[in-house]
Structure 1
């Protein structure tokens, strides 16, 4: 039953990831087929992100009383209906509504998923391993989503045939909802102590452990989203790759994160989380220092295929392998040391600070691209990396103190 629950958790989370990551494709199609303007298309990002924050703020402390399993059933069933409705869309507003529902669902599902891991994990190291596995499947979902949407867009000859992708996703969500109906989850420890309320979240936010965790996660998402959002621009403007290839090569970064999260699980069980994460931070810094100088003086002639792309285009995205374990592991450490009834509240704070970190990261990198030569831009990641490295031992000491108390 434990393995089945972990599998269903991962699949539902990954499906939501596919939709959360589809904004760029939908903006392109909405401009082409719904006569949307670019400013209109940019509202989809806000529909998604603001809904995630709203769900985290309003629902985080209510979910334990309602039930994690019940929350995930409602979320996946609602997404099945939303995707089915979107497959018949004839106006841009339908896409806006879809991303509002997606954001609300993702916010609630992320809280329920991470809190449910605490019910399934055997010990803190197992918690970190399971979290890494689920996040790894999530990243595989993002990668699969790129190609799934690409397949339907490529076959679209009518202007509306690409919407068939939502029928596929609706079926997948329905199957996950049915799987949850057949999968038990013992939530007695979480429900018994559930208190609810924003006051609980505020109390959590003042704890030294929480402050350290939220700071580290904020810095991590700043790096991951800043690199992920602007890597196509780096490929195009600095490495002089064609626009289409610049986007396609970002799949290396997404795939590297998926590999890193899946590969980290056995390392946590063998060595513990702190040595692994310090090694990851060091590895990212070394790769940045080695890869970015290769981006200087790249031949301005346009590459015609992947075989002609410069080495930096393949080497730099591999930082995703070592970045990957940081986020889920820090989340895991914070949650596994907290009473099950309080984990949903902490996860709500984590989702909110993650959203803020992602927004600020993209903004900072955009400003650097505007004012600095492109090959210098991604050196900025070294500063938050150093701060994360300094924060990790603090988190470990706090964890040891809480376990000893």
Structure 2
């Protein structure tokens, strides 16, 4: 297909814009605690306002997305999130933040469903599928890293609400993305959907009874619990445990996004030469080892000390903790690719919906648990909890591999 490069470029651009918006939740939580009079437990509800709409929209839309059309779905998503960004800028309240993340959740469901479905269509085999999906997810992490630099640009000690101007910039990016998408020529014959939307939803529900799908959904749930637990609360962790300034806390959190991006780009290359199972299990073990190496050194650090505001003042542990991203980054895209490439392409849209639903639920629960633990037992002990889902993830991966060995691939 001669126009494939245009389709792929469109996927990268849309994913980048939503990466900035979707994963700013940790930054907004830190701002909300400081400016809107809420505590860690209350602020953690923002994750639910983001993730639950993703789960709900994915459930009802995934199966008949081909009928709606991938391009139209992405256009609708961009228009919805544009309204959300402007609402946050003019609303300037915790309620406005909730509504903004709700718009982001609804929109991202449409974007991710479209992206995951299109990757299956423009890939010719499992290795190409794994490589493309890993690189797109890697670019997503570049977008997240950009958010950690973009937001602090507008921080001001004399004008505490000046940070909201970032939503004007984000609105402009959404408009550019919408314009680019509208001008692109995306014409792909999508897999045949069911007779009606009821049949589409029934087909999605039937997938859950597939043993491979069921075990995979639990693994996706565990992974996102880990990733969002760290990503959402790292800016607050930096403030309270390391005593970083507001701006430095966010900027240091960008190292996590950069390490995630590096990990996913490496996964895209490594997956062409090494079994995905070996990569995932090795990375999981390294993630546990890194947490056990760093967290004991931080015990008793929940009381803020002298505020640090420069990179030169950051202790070694402050640089090491974000490196966990390199190890957890390859897990999600490789898991997704392994399962999608072993299902018929006609099931990729409903399967993508299930992936997004369980990922959203895992993200909400992970963030909520870490936020609650953060308030009750401190940030360091809260991060120890993340070792539990990593162990459960390793068990799930071994089960998935055992099931896949008995099934033929369907990517080609």
Q: Return the TM-score normalized by structure 2.
A: 0.84
Name the counterpart of 1:360.
Answer: 365
What are the equivalent positions in structure 2 for 1:4-403 lying under 5 Å apart? 4-23=6-25, 38=38, 44-80=46-82, 83=85, 85-86=86-87, 89=90, 92=93, 96-154=98-156, 163-185=164-186, 187-191=188-192, 196=197, 197-242=200-245, 244-296=247-299, 302=306, 304=308, 305-369=310-374, 372=377, 375-403=380-408
1:152/1:202 CA distance change after superposition, 3 Å: same
Q: Give the length in aligned residue pairs.
A: 401
Compared CA separation, residues 69 and 191, structure 1 to 2 (3 A): farther
**Mean Cα displacement is larger for which, 321-330 or 308-317?**
308-317
- The C-alpha deviation readout for 1:95-150, integer Å capped at 9, x for no partner, is 55443322211111111111111011121121111111111111111221232232
Q: 1:3 to 1:296 in 2, by over 3 A?
A: same
- Decide whether aligned partners of structure 1 residues 184 and 275 sit closer, same or farther in structure 2, where only a CA change above 3 A counts: farther
Structure with greater proportional helix content = 1
CA distance in 1, matches of 2:31, 2:386: 33
CA distance in structure 2 between the partners assigned to 1:272 and 1:148 by the alignment: 37
Give the deviation of 1:231 after TM superposition. Answer: 2.9
Q: Distance in 1 between matches of 2:299 and 2:400?
A: 38
Instruction: Work out the CA distance in 2 between the residues paired with 1:360 and 1:192.
Output: 32
CA change 1:317–1:165 in 2 (3 A) is closer
SS in 1 for 2:90: coil
Q: Which moved more, 1:255-264 or 1:381-390?
A: 381-390
1:61, 1:108 → 2: CA distance? 12
> Which sits farther off after the overlay, 193-202 or 281-290?
193-202
CA RMSD of aligned residues (A): 3.3
Whole-Å separation in 1 of the counterparts to 2:177 and 2:360: 26
Query: Match of 1:403, SS?
Result: coil
CA apart distance, 1:14: 1.9
- Segments of structure 1 that go 5 or more residues without pairing to the other structure are none
Distance 1:171 1:300 in 2: 37
8 Å CA contact 2:20–2:143 kept in 1: the answer is yes
Structure 2 unmatched ranges of 5 or more: none
- Distance verdict in 2 for CA 1:123–1:184, change over 3 Å: farther
Secondary structure at the counterpart of residue 191 of structure 2: helix
Contact 1:64 1:194 in 2 (8 A): no
Q: Secondary structure at the match of 1:383?
A: helix
Once the 2 structures are TM-superposed, how far is the Cα of residue 399 of structure 1 from its aligned partner? Answer: 2.5
What's the CA shift for 1:325? 0.9
The question of whether the paired residues in 2 share the 8 Å contact of 1:222 and 1:357 is answered with: yes
Of residues 291-300 and 130-139 in structure 1, the stretch that sits farther from structure 2 once superposed is 291-300
Compute the displacement of 1:300 (Å). Answer: 8.0
Is the 1:273–1:329 contact (alpha carbons within 8 Å) kept by the matching residues of 2? yes
Superposed displacement of residue 386, structure 1: 2.1
Deviation at 1:30, TM superposition (A): 7.4
Whole-Å separation in 2 of the counterparts to 1:87 and 1:233: 21
Q: How far apart are the structure 2 equivalents of 1:29 and 1:240?
A: 16
Query: Is this contact kept in 2: 1:194–1:342, CA < 8 A?
Result: no
Superposition deviation, residue 42 in structure 1: 6.7
Cα shift at 1:56: 1.2
Partner SS for 1:187: coil
1:2 to 1, 4, 13: 4
Larger mean CA deviation between 251-260 and 163-172 belongs to 163-172
| Post-superposition offset of 1:177 | 2.6
